[in-house]
Structures are given as C-alpha cells and as structure tokens.
Amino acid sequence: MFSEELLELDRNTVEFMIEDMRRQIEEKDEQIKQKDEQIKQKDEQSRQLDEQIRQRNKQIKESDKQIRQLDEQIKESDRQIGQLDEQIKESDRQIRQLDEQIKQSEQEIQKMEEAKE
C-alpha cells in the first residue's frame, strides 16, 4: 500500500513535471513567434531602406549626369566668350586704326584748306 502511494506520487510528480515542461515549451514557442515577427518587421524595414538607397543612388547618378552636361555647356560657353573677346579686341584695334586714319585725313584736309587760303 505504501508503495502504491509512492508509485502514485511518482506518477503525479512526473505528470506535473511533464505539464510544467509543456507550459515552458508553449511559452518558448510564443517567444519564438514574437521574435520571428520582429525579424520579419526588421527584414521589411531593411528592404524598404535598401529600396530608398537604390532610389537615392539613382537620383545621384542622374544629378551627376546633369552636372556633367552643365559643365560641358559651361566649357562651351567659356570657349564662345573667349572667341567673342578676341573678336571685340580685333574690332577695337580696327576702330583705333580707323580713328587714326580719320585724324590723319582731317589733318590733311586742314592743311589743304590752310594752303588754299
């Protein structure tokens, strides 16, 4: 009888331990599910950030392309400005020559008029 009671007590203890282990496993399973959900959320955030980075990189490349085009336009404008400066210098030189010729012609005319008188 005493041994039957001990046997029953052992059985109850084993059942209690098994039930406690099941409860612990269920808690751990729930924790794992929560961690899995957190991982999924982090993965989604990471994917979104990767997409934002790709978009930013695309914008940067496009901006770089526009900057290169503008740089080329500036170089061409600078070249044209240089040519126009040279043309202005040449025109100024020609104007000075013409002014000098006009002065000489006026002096000759004045001498001729004085000689007539």
pLDDT band with cut points at 50, 70 and 90 for residue 114: confident
pLDDT band with cut points at 50, 70 and 90 for residue 55: very high
Predicted local distance difference test score (pLDDT) of residue 2: 64
Predicted local distance difference test score (pLDDT) of residue 23: 97
pLDDT tens for 14-51 read: 898 999 999 999 999 999 999 999 999 999 999 999 99
pLDDT band with cut points at 50, 70 and 90 for residue 1: low
Spatial separation of the C-alpha atoms in residues 2 and 24, rounded to whole Å: 32
| DSSP conformational letter for 117 | -
pLDDT band with cut points at 50, 70 and 90 for residue 12: confident
Residue with the bigger pLDDT between 89 and 111: it is 89
